[in-house]
Structures are given as structure tokens and as C-alpha cells.
Amino acid sequence: MVHAMVLIHRHLAMLLMVLGLQTCVTAQTVDWTNGVLPILQSRCIECHGPDTQESKLRLDTMTEALRGGNSGEPVIIPGDSHRSYLVERITSRDPILRMPPDSAPLSDKEQALLKAWIDAPLLWTEAKVALSKTAITHWSFQPVVRPRVLDPVDAKPVDAKPIDAKPIDVLIAAKLREAGLTMSQQAEKRRLIRRLFLVMHGLPPTQKQVDHFLADQRPDAWNELVDLVLDSPRYGERWAMHWLDIVRFGETNGFETNRERPNAFPFRDWVIAAFNSDKPYDQFVKQQIAGDVLGEPVGTGFLVAGPNDIVKGQDPLLGLMQRQDELTDMVNTTGTAFLGLTTGCARCHNHKFDPISQSDFYALQAVFAGVEHAERKLPLSPDATRRRTEIEDEIHRLRNDLSQYARQRGSRDSVNAKENIEDFPATEAKFIRFTISATNAAEPCIDELQVFSDNQNVALASNGASVRSSGDYEHPLHKLEHINDGQFGNSRSWISSVRSGGWVAIQLPKPFLVERIVWSRDRQGNFSDRLATDYRFETSLDGDEWKQVASSIDRIPFGNGKMEIQYDFAGLGEVEMKAAKNSLERIQLLEKEKSILLETAKAYVGSFKKPEPTYRLHRGDPTASREQVAPGAIAALGELRLDNASPEQQRRLAIANWIVSSDNPLTARVMVNRLWQFHFGIGIVDTPSDFGANGTLPSHPELLDWLASEFMECGWSLKHMHRLILTSTTWQQDSRPRSEAIQKDSTSRLLWRFPPRRLEAEGIRDCMLAASGKLDSRMGGPGFSAFEVELENVRHYFPKKDYGPADWRRMVYMTKVRQEKDSIFGVFDCPDGSQVTPKRSRSTTPLQALNLLNSRFVMQQADFLAERIELEGGSMEQRISLAYELCFGRTANNSECTEAIAFVAEHGWPSFARAMLNTNEFIFIP
């Protein structure tokens, strides 16, 4: 028995190495009857096999055996060898999969002993306990603890000292001292106000705002200016841009068709409003995941903001893969945006760096299993509801005024393809004519035309009736003689040669007293196109004088489903007729406004259904289902206590509450780090969406935790955090370089100065419009497009060549087209929404310079700026000074003025304006 166990442990070592573990096993004497397991001693041998996912894991103890490798498969399930992946591999008949590799398979006896070892659950009790107590040591998974910040001067807590001793500054200064550095002096007021507006609004301050701040000598002048900036709606537009990058917002579907999402914009507007109203961040998070439950239905636009392949095809496997991609996008974005974790990396195997198992990934996927890409009808806002009531009241009043001229339409059912019956008072006729004025599609097609007299079809050709028409559609199947041949179906029908105004007439062998006509598009019900929707039937005794006996006027309009009122103003005088027609036109305008109002109550914010079961997928393959997984969170950080029967909304609300729980160590840290990044150009953690082991360490860990704890304690107020940062000495430092500091910290990571940087694409474009005076500050609603769109099945986007007032709104309102970039500003590292962008790159390329110098948009705005300078300025010197104020927020010095006058004299104002818009000073945050 001992010899057998030695053999098993030798093979076990090989197997576990190939399964993603590394080990060396030394077996000692085992008394199996007393239930004593062999002792595993590590010699740390590294070995990789074909199924390891390039993982390395030590197997010192049975605890490591229970932990398993990175494949995501449960290597050993105590008490259940049948479900243990180890047994599956040693018993596989596939030589590629069977373990141990390059060796004879284990004998039946060896396999039985190994199974028995696994099937003895009591033997694994201690290992289970040890595994459950395994601590996660990575810094970001530790609880947020507010550090006690001491003033280095008198070692008193900073929070108890006057406002000039701020924790942010104390913690920054402490790191600078360690490096032998000091802060820079405070920036001059002109530089500060320009920096403030560019960072917080993405727009320059007006000259009036600059002059007021320069003249304000009160001690709290800066604090009041900060409040003014935070209270402006421009703040929400600027910071929403950052968030929309993080959550991969786009207004087309992406992939090959790249069709528009015309109702995606409400989510963008909702984000802007959330920032402007200082919606607490915990609510902001929850409403993006479960806003439909919390009274904020537009918030769930976050879930479906990503790309979506609408071409499903006939292959079921393709559909399964597309659905997995949709859910992975939701799981990954939720992880990166809120938790700073790359959860999507665990789709095919356990995360290589972080404590996220493959089961965790599919538990998160189960949370979103009921979410689908779709538009959803939303409840009207209070303002929209009020306007709808006003519209309906006015329509009701106008209809009452016109009621004396009304003829109702809609007392009969709408037409259908299979059979339509026209009953009318008995009328003597020899000729019956069917005239079609409109169809639901293409030229009208009539299957069989039956005319009844005393319940007998007298229109049959076999009874002597003949037929003629206004013109016949040439087709081998559809012929005029089919109209009354007594046979039914599409192949025995007639098609008119014209879509509107065509007719077919039947001449009876003699006059009959007729009272009913029956007609259809396809009596067999296989086709419903080419259906006559607007028509009339007429009878005649001589073929010259016709009398209408039936029409579509009294039917419910096709596709409408409601009664329609028509008006007859015949006989009215000129004044009365004009007034009546004006009332009717007003009704039509109001109906259109109401329709638009109700249409805008739809938004691309996803739809929800009962979740289907979620299974862990081997290597992410949708055809390789393993065990069913209940909705849950990342097990190493918490649990949701849900089961497979948990309702769809409850799942999303549970994960949202878990994310913003004060016990979650990531959420607050991740968001304050993002705020810091967008203020200073780089975060305390410079991998803002990866706080895991593959990310970078924080440059100021105590500061990060102080900010995170303050964020939660202040009620998750973003504006409060902005005020703390903006009023700090750190933020107000000068940005000019110091040679001794650059030698020690060339990237300014320790913040010995404010790091200057180039504006993003949106900021550059918006600042140009502000300088030229053409900026349209209208907020919200459908955006403007940078493209001319070719509306084929596969959309083609061509950059605009001409620009007008509709294009002069802020760039946050430019329709976000995936896989395409604005031809001018897109080259400034502007993401297209196909993937999350937590941090934009800042490249410098020749194309950027060419676009800023020669593009039609920039040249147009330069011309407008030149016109503004000439119109609003006085003397040459005054115009130059105005140009500097509009572009740089300062006056020109003597040297600049002299050079500018000479330049304008030689090249003119438009060239001067274009040069101003191309300077570093114009496009940089100072």
C-alpha cells in the first residue's frame, strides 16, 4: 500500500505541475488505514505544460492543491473525485489531454487509489480551513484607513489646525522632503484663473472674469472663484467627457454596419446633469447599474454604452459568442470603471495577477445575464408631462371648433392581406372598377376579385365576365387573367404597372344587382407586401358614368389602429375656410410636436429580461459549459448572497450596493485617483483602471487613503473633493521648471510644480470657438455630426468639408461615431468609444500640426477671430492686445506687440489669427 501511494504521489506531482502548479513531492510512510495523508515537502521545481495558461503556483501543502491552477477548473473537489479536474485528466482517452504527459497512463489500481484519496472529505478539512484564512496582501485590497496627518512643524494633527495647513499639502511636502525637493511658489493670478477654467471647464475664462479676479484682493477671492466654476454648467460638460471615456460611450453600434444609435444621447446628458448637480458618487454608481430600480432609468445607459454587433446571422454558435462578448463588455467595464480591476481577464481562466477566479467572472456575468442592448421607453419628465397636457388640451379645443366639419374615418377594421369584404347597398351594375391610390409597399397585387349578387360570384371568367386594367406589371407569374379565374394564391394574382392610381375593371356578362365585393392580396396568407391600403370601388351600367360604392375611407388606416378624423370645408366662405384650415394646420403641428415629445422619451439604455442560467465556460468557450454559477461578486472581496433564482433587478441592485459599500476597499480609492489624474495629468496610481498586482504602486499611498476616506465621509461629494484639491497649495503652484528639481524628478511626479500639459481634443476645439466668438453654449439633446453619412446597410462616414452654426456647439455634443474619428481633432488622441479609455495618450505628430494650420475648420475659425479682432478692437495696438486677451488671457508685452504689428502688416489679420490658434500657449494648460 505504501509503495502504491508513493507511486501516486510521484504521478500526482507531475499532474499538478502540468495543471498549472509547481512542486516536488517526497512521500513518507503513510498509514492509510489510520487516515494519515503523506507529507508534501516543497523543493520549488518549475514546470509548465500545455494546459497551464503559463501559470506558476507552489504546491507546498494540500491547501495549494485545493487552490488549483489558473485554468479555472477545480483540480480537486474533496469528496467528489468525479467532478475533480485532476481525475478528468488522468482518465482522459485523448492522448493530448491525458496526464501524466509522455508517460504510460495510471493503472486502474492507481486511479482508484487517487480517487479514494480525493473522496475522503475529512482528510481535506484542515486544508479547507487554511485556504479560507489565506490573506490577500496586495495594497489595494486592504481596508481604507484614514491616516493621521501631522504637521511636521509642531506634530499636531493637521485637521485641527487653520485652513492653511491642509492634509494634501502636508502629505505632498513630506514626499518632496524625502527626495530633497520643495514646492514651487504660487502661480500668478492670471495663470491660476486660466488653469482653473481650462481644467474645470475646458474653456478659457472671459476677460471680464479675469479682470474681476485680478482686482479682487479679498482673502477668500480664490475660494469664491472655485465655487463659481463648480456652479457653472460648463463644469458638468467638461467632467462628463472624462467619464464617457471611462465607460466607452458611443452613439453607433460599431462592427461592420456601425449603425447609428439616435437615442443614445440621453445618457450623455444624464452624466452631465449628474456632475452639475453634485450627485453623490455612490448614487451615481448605483444608478448606472440599477437606475431602473432607483428612479433614474437613463442611468442604465452605462450598461449598454459599449459596441454591439447587430448582425446575428444564422449560425447559433455565432450568436452564443456574440452574447458572451456583450456580457463580457458589461463585466469588464463595471470592473475597470468602478473597481479599477481588469475583471475581463478572468473570462477564460483565473486571473493571472489578481484574486479573481474564472468562477468570479461568471458570477459577475450572471448579475448582468438579463441585460440586453436595446432602446427603452422612459417615463416623461415633469416638464414634458406638463407640455403634453397643454398640447392635448389645445388639440381638444381645436377639434371641438372643427367638429361641425368632421367626417370620422376608422369605423371598419384595417385592410389585411388574406381577405377584405366590402358591403354596400344593393346596386345595379355591369362594370366594377377597383382603383388603388396607395399600398404598404411597391405596386399593388390583387389575388382574386369576387363580386357577389345573391351570394353568387358573378365576376368569374368562367361565367362570361371579362377584365381590363390601366396597365399590367410584366412578370411570368402575375397576369391580368388571374384576377377572376377562381384560383387563389400569390402565383394566381395580378400586379398593377403603377404604384398609385392603377385600376382593374371587371365587365359582367349582363347587369346584376350586386351588394358585396371580396378581395385579397394573398388568400393563402403567405405574402403581405403590395397590399392596397388606400382604394375605392366604383360601379357603372355603361362604363362611362361611375358611382363609388365602397372605399378605404371608413377603415382604420393601415398600421395605425385608431380612428382618424377628416374634415370637409366645402361651402365655407373665404374667411371661415381660412380660419378652419389654420386650425387644422395647428392641430397637425401639435400632433407632430406630441409625437416628437413621446419619441424623445425613448433612450438607448438597455432592456431587461428574466436571466437565463449562467455556466462557467471552459476556456471561455460557449459550447463548453461547466457547472452553473449563481450571481455574485469577487469572492475574495465579498459576497452577494444571491442564488440562481434571484430576480434580475435584485442582482444588479445587489452588485451596485456591494460596489459602493464602505467595506469595499477599491471604489473610493479608484475615483479619487481619477479626480487627481484629471487635475494633475497623472494619477497617484498611474494605471487608473488597474489597481491590481499588474498595476503600478501609488506614488503617495497615505494621500490616496486620506482622499478616499474623506470622499466617503463627506457623503461621496465630488465637488467637495474638487474644492480640497483646487484650494491646496499643491494645485496652485507655478508650473515653470526648476533645473535642480528636474534633475531629481523630471516627470514632476512628486508635484514640486504643477505639471503643464496640452489640452485634449475637445478643449482645443472648444477654445477656438470661444476665441472666435462662435461657441454655441446650448446644452443637451441630439448632437451634431462631424460626418456626412451614406445611409447604406453598412454605414459609410465621410468627414464634413463645410461647417456651419450647427457644428459650433461644444465637442462633448458631437455624435460619437465608433471606428471613426473627427478628421481634424481626432488626431489629438481622441478615443472612438470602441473600448474603455481611462487615460488618453498625449502624442505629438506632424498631422496634428498640419490639421491645426490648414484644416477648413481652423481656417474658418481663424477668419472669424480676425473679424472679431477688427470689429471689437480700436487701434492696431488695441487689436493686438484684444487678440492676446482672447487667446491667452493676458495682454501682449511690448516686444510681442511690435512683432505682431509687423506680421499683420505683411500677412494680414486672418494669418495672424491662425498663428495665434496654433501656439503652445493657446492649447496648453499652464
CB under 8 Å, gap of 24 or more: what pairs does 564-573 form?
564/408, 564/409, 564/410, 565/399, 565/406, 565/407, 565/408, 565/409, 566/406, 566/407, 566/408, 566/409, 567/402, 567/405, 567/406, 567/407, 568/405, 568/407, 569/405, 572/405
Task: Say how many C-beta atoms besides its own lie within 10 A of residue 47's C-beta.
Answer: 16
Q: How far is CA 890 from the centre of its chain?
A: 40
Give CA angle at 670 (664, 672), nearest 5°: 115
pLDDT, tens only, 436-482: 999 988 899 999 999 999 889 999 999 999 999 999 988 888 899 99
- Which grid coordinates are listed for 922? 493657446
CA distances from 532 to 436, 463, 561, 565 (A): 6, 27, 16, 20
Q: By three-state DSSP, how is residue 70 classified? A: coil
The residue count for the chain: 926
pLDDT for res 547: 92
Section 627-651 average pLDDT: 94
Answer with the residue of higher pLDDT: 504 or 14.
504
- pLDDT computed for residue 59 by the predictor: 40
Q: Say how many CA atoms lie within 13 Å of 68 toward its Cβ.
A: 22
202 and 242 Cβ atoms separated by less than 8 Å: no
pLDDT given at position 126:
76
Q: What is the pLDDT of residue 407?
A: 65
pLDDT of 23 higher than 50 = no
Q: Stretch 187-191: mean pLDDT, rounded?
A: 97
CA angle 321, 326, 329 (to 5 degrees): 120
Is residue 321 within 8 Å of 284, Cβ to Cβ?
A: no
Q: What is the DSSP letter of 470?
A: S
pLDDT at 163: 40
Residue 786 CA to residue 807 CA, distance in Å, equals 8
Q: What number is the average pLDDT over the span 851-879?
A: 94
Distance CA 715, CA 613 (A): 37
* End-to-end Cα distance, the chain: 78
Are 444 and 517 in contact by the 8 Å Cβ rule? The answer is: no
Question: 419 versus 862: which is more confidently predicted?
Answer: 862
| Model pLDDT, residue 562 | 54
Residue 146 in this model has a pLDDT that exceeds 60: yes
Predicted confidence band of residue 61 (pLDDT cuts 50, 70, 90): low
Name 539's bridge partners. Answer: 432, 547
pLDDT of residue 72: 72
On the CB side of 322, how many CA atoms lie within 13 Å of its CA?
A: 16
Cα separation, 52 vs 49, whole angstroms: 6
In tens, the pLDDT along 278-312 reads 999 999 999 999 999 999 999 999 999 999 999 98
**pLDDT above 70: percentage of residues in the chain:** 90
pLDDT at res. 834: 87
H or E element: which one contains 569?
A: none
**Distance from C-alpha of 860 to C-alpha of 826, rounded to nearest angstrom:** 18
Task: Specify the DSSP element, H or E, that contains 757.
Answer: strand 757-758
Confidence band (pLDDT; 50, 70, 90) for 1?
very low
Backbone angles phi, psi at 701, to 5 degrees: -60, -40
What's the pLDDT at 408?
58
Q: Give the CA radius of gyration of the chain.
A: 38
Q: Is 540 helix (H, G, I), strand (E, B) or coil?
A: strand
- Cβ–Cβ < 8 Å for 830, 821: yes
d(CA 864, CA 860): 6
Lowest mean pLDDT among 122-131, 397-406, 530-539: 122-131
- Condensed to tens digits (0 to 9), the pLDDT of residues 493-511 reads 999 999 899 999 999 999 9
What's the confidence (pLDDT) of residue 16?
46
Does position 44 have pLDDT exceeding 70, yes or no?
no
Instruction: Write the burial class of residue 353 (CB in 10 Å: 0-12 exposed, 13-18 middle, 19+ buried).
Output: middle
Is the distance from CB of 187 to CB of 735 less than 8 angstroms?
yes
Residues 664 and 227: their CA atoms lie apart, in Å, by: 31
Taking the mean position of all CA atoms in its chain, how far away is CA 416? 40
Checking if the pLDDT of 152 tops 70, the result is: no
pLDDT in tens, 230-275: 999 999 999 999 999 999 999 999 999 999 999 999 999 999 999 9
pLDDT at 62 over 80: no
State yes or no: pLDDT of 45 exceeds 70: no
Contact 409, 553 (CB under 8 A): yes
**Any residues with CB less than 8 A from the CB of 195 and at least 6 apart, and which?**
187, 735, 754, 925, 926
% of the chain surpassing 90 pLDDT: 64
Q: Is the pLDDT of residue 914 over 70?
A: yes
Higher pLDDT: 97 or 318? It is 318
Give 77's pLDDT tier (boundaries 50, 70, 90). Answer: confident
Phi, psi torsion values for 162, nearest 5 degrees = -60, 170
pLDDT for the residue 24: 33
- The closest alpha carbon to 744, from 170, 168, 175, 169, belongs to 175
What pLDDT shows up at residue 378?
86
- Beta-bridge partners for 432: 506, 539
CA gap 417, 200 in Å, rounded = 61
Least confident of 56-60, 358-362, 740-744: 56-60
Residue 275 contacts residue 235 (beta carbons within 8 Å): yes
Region 22-34: mean pLDDT is: 32
Q: What average pLDDT does the segment 525-547 reach?
A: 90
Out of 81-90, 376-385, 488-497, 559-568, which region has the weakest mean confidence (pLDDT)?
A: 559-568
Main-chain dihedrals φ then ψ at residue 787, nearest 5 degrees:
-130, 155
Q: Which of 548, 530, 456 is nearest to 494 (CA)?
A: 530
Distance CA 91, CA 97 (A): 9
The whole-number pLDDT of residue 269 equals 96
774 CB-side CA count, 13 A:
22
Residue with cell 467619464: 243
Mean pLDDT check: name the lowest of 51-65, 455-469, 629-643: 51-65
630 CB neighbour count, 10 Å cutoff: 19
CB 858 within 8 A of CB 768: yes
DSSP bridge pairs for 758: 924
Q: What's the burial of 604, exposed, middle or buried (CB within 10 Å: 0-12/13-18/19+)?
A: buried
Contact 481, 461 (CB under 8 A): yes
More confidently predicted of 226 and 831: 226
Q: Enter the C-alpha cell of residue 646.
A: 434571484
Mean pLDDT, all residues of the chain: 87
DSSP string, 711-745: HHHTTS-HHHHHHHHHTSTTTTB-----HHHHHH-
DSSP for 614-655?
-EEEGGG-TT-EEEE------TTT------TT--HHHHHHHH
> What pLDDT is attached to residue 528?
86
Above 70 in pLDDT, residue 410? no
- Which of 121-130, 176-185, 214-223 is predicted least confidently? 121-130
- Can you tell me the distance from the alpha carbon of 652 to that of 638, in angstroms, rounded to the nearest whole number? 15
Binning pLDDT at 50, 70 and 90, where does residue 352 land?
confident
